[in-house]
Amino acid sequence: MPPQFELKAKERIRKGLLVYREILQHALARGVTEEDTSTIVQSILVEVLGYDRFQEISGQYAVKGRWADWAVKVNDATLFFVEVKPVGTKLRERDLFQIVGYSRQQELEWTVLTTGDVWECFRVATGHEPEEFLEIRLLDASQDEAEIIEHLYLLSKEGFTKGALQEHWGKDECFRPERLAAVLLSDDVLGTIRRVVHRENPGRRIEVDDLREALLRGVIRGDLRDINGVPAAAPAKSDIPKRQRKASRPEPPVPPEE
pLDDT averaged per 10 residues in sequence order, the chain, 258 residues = 94 98 96 96 98 94 83 94 95 86 88 96 82 93 94 96 84 61 78 85 83 81 60 36 42 50
Pinpoint the alpha helices (H) of the chain.
4-30, 34-47, 93-105, 145-155, 157-161, 164-174, 177-184, 187-200, 208-218, 222-227
The pLDDT value given to residue 226: 62
The pLDDT value given to residue 140: 94
The pLDDT value given to residue 89: 95
The pLDDT value given to residue 38: 96
Angle (CA) 249 70 78, round 5°: 105
Amino acid at the residue 18: L
- Domains detected in the chain: 4-164 (3.90.1570.30), 177-240 (no CATH)
Helices (H) and strands (E) in the chain, counts: 10, 6
d(CA 180, CA 244): 16
The pLDDT value given to residue 82: 96
pTM over 0.75: no
Instruction: Please state the length of the chain.
Output: 258
d(CA 26, CA 5): 32
